[in-house]
């Protein structure tokens, strides 16, 4: 059984990144287990903190997943602190963390016209630094994302079809 872990990069329940995650989960084929991580439950990264149950849970979620789907909003031309914080927790030990060789699928959302493309580039750079395996495909961006959310789900059919095709390719690559 394949397990996907979805990580939205926002704290707001009504955020476009969480709405996108909800819409993507609905597109996942039957037989795939989907979990959604909550990066807001993690303390600020501090190497002095040991045995925090939320950190352990998050690292275990990443470890158990066959693939990780990250949906980042763009804050000030980059990834939000809450997403970077979660990644920092899971990035230890360096070059041997749960992200090493972990297949990752990345997309971005933004209220602006560029759809978070700069944040997506930064996120891929961060994941590369942890030796994650980033799924290669055209960049999937959701511009003017807040205008494309209804009832807590992304509703732009064109973007969802495009993202769904690439997500399907990502899932297929997990079996090979």
pLDDT digits (tens, 9 = 90+) for 76-99: 999 999 999 999 999 999 999 999
**Which pLDDT score, from 0 to 100, does residue 97 have?**
96
Whether the pTM exceeds 0.75: the reply is yes
The pLDDT > 70 percentage for the chain reads 100
Count CB-CB contacts under 10 A for residue 99. Answer: 23
Nearest 5°: the CA angle 104, 25, 170 is: 35
**Which pLDDT score, from 0 to 100, does residue 71 have?**
98
Q: Domain spans of the chain? A: 2-174
- Specify the fold of 2-174: Rossmann fold (3.40.50)
pLDDT digits (tens, 9 = 90+) for 24-45: 999 999 999 999 999 999 999 9
Ranges of the chain whose pLDDT falls below 50: none
Nearest 5°: the CA angle 164, 101, 9 is: 50
**Which pLDDT score, from 0 to 100, does residue 1 have?**
86
């Amino acid at each position: 059984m394949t397990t996907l872990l979805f990580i939205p990069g926002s704290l707001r329940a009504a955020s476009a990144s969480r709405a996108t995650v909800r819409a993507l989960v609905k597109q996942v084929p039957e037989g795939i287990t989907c979990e959604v991580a909550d990066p807001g439950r993690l303390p600020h990264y501090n190497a002095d903190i040991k045995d925090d149950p939320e950190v352990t849970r998050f690292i275990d979620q990443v470890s158990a997943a066959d693939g990780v789907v990250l949906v980042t909003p763009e804050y000030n031309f980059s990834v939000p602190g809450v997403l970077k914080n979660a990644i920092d927790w899971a990035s230890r030990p360096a070059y041997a963390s749960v992200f090493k060789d972990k297949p990752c699928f990345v997309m971005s959302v933004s209220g602006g016209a560029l759809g978070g493309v700069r944040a997506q580039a930064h996120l891929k750079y961060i994941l590369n630094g942890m030796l994650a395996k980033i799924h290669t495909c055209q960049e999937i961006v959701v511009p003017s994302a807040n205008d494309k959310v209804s009832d807590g789900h992304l509703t732009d059919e064109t973007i969802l079809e495009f993202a769904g095709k690439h997500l399907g390719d990502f899932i297929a690559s997990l079996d090979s």
